[in-house]
Amino acid sequence: MELLQLQYFLAVARLEHVTEAARSLHVTQSSLSKTIQRLEEDLGVPLFDRIGRKLRLNEFGSRFLRRAERALFELEQGKQELSDLSSPEHGTLELAVTTASTLPNILREFRKKRPYIQFHVQMLTMQEMVTLLHRGEVDFCLSSPPIEGDDIECQIVFIDPILVAVPKGHRLADRSSVSLTELRDEWFVGVKRGYGTRDLVDSICKSAGFVPKYVYEGDEPARLFTLVEAEIGIAFIPSTARYSHEHIKYLQVENHELVREIALLWHRSRYISRAAMEFREVVVQYFASISKLTI
């Protein structure tokens, strides 16, 4: 059994499509198919049920996938550990976020300590983040809400109040706070379902007796400020994501625990480099500093 066979198997198992897997691996379909066939011959069992170019993991394949992922995960951790030992001042941090508003400040603080460390950051939905976490493919995630899992470490770093952003000409703009029930007839702009803050807000509004009516749902949180300013709708905005704007007013929510928990997450078995440990310290210190500020 060859390492290349395992790498090809993982790609096909995750995509369950020969053409797409071959494209992701930058190899020909025939080469990929022959490699998978040789692996199945070595194992003595078929790993997939085949329907044209579409493949579906069978029971043999599902069981072998867990072992193969674990084996390649450990090899990758060994590679990272040796790289950290030989070049501790260089390397790349793999980061994923569901909440990106605080990330620029955190990265700026970290870069002061480790100027030669590079970053690769992905903005993900909760389900996408869970997948990468379980595979151990990221160093850290900043997530709201937190994620539970046997192989996931979770550290709550901040309790973030969620505010209501309204345009200056809105009927509530002269208020400093508002109850959720007063918002039942409003039109909202927000991110799509699947993002932690959106799902949390919808759930709490439902418990208050209404479902928010969205006129816009997107995947760019920063765009919401423009839409609020244009009086397209109002928005639920975490306090860490707000920014000063003369045409937008932020209101606190009365009598409701409308807050989100921001958590730092990592895979229990993933090797944590010295640079990654320093990054974790920067994150904790950053949120400790802003927790002292009032809304």
- Class of domain 3-71 as given by CATH: mainly alpha
pLDDT, residue 50, reads: 83
**N-terminal to C-terminal alpha carbon distance within the chain:** 59
Q: Give DSSP secondary structure letters for 201-254.
A: HHHHHHHTT---EEEEEES-TTHHHHHHHTTS-BEEEEGGG----TTEEEEEEE
- What percentage of the chain carries pLDDT values higher than 90? 54
Cα separation of 132 and 4, whole Å? 21
- Within the chain, which residue ranges are assigned CATH 1.10.10.10? 3-71
pLDDT in tens, 127-161: 888 888 888 889 999 998 898 888 899 999 999 99
Closest CA to 211 of 221, 202, 199, 224: 202
Residue 110 in tokens: 């970290």
If you ran DSSP here, which 8-state letter would residue 87 be given? Answer: -
pLDDT in tens, 175-200: 999 999 999 999 999 999 888 889 99
Cα separation of 288 and 157, whole Å? 8
Cα separation of 34 and 2, whole Å? 13
H/E stretch holding 72 reads: helix 59-86
The pTM is what? Answer: 0.70
pLDDT tens over the chain, length 295 residues: 788 999 999 999 988 888 888 888 999 989 998 999 999 999 999 999 988 767 889 999 999 998 898 888 888 878 878 877 777 777 889 999 987 888 999 999 999 989 999 889 998 888 888 888 888 889 999 998 898 888 899 999 999 999 999 999 999 999 999 999 999 999 999 999 888 889 999 999 999 999 999 999 998 888 899 999 999 999 999 999 888 888 999 999 997 778 999 999 999 888 888 889 999 999 999 999 987 764 4
92-294: which CATH topology? Answer: D-Maltodextrin-Binding Protein; domain 2 (3.40.190)
pLDDT, residue 293, reads: 65
- Within the chain, which residue ranges are assigned CATH 3.40.190.290? 92-294
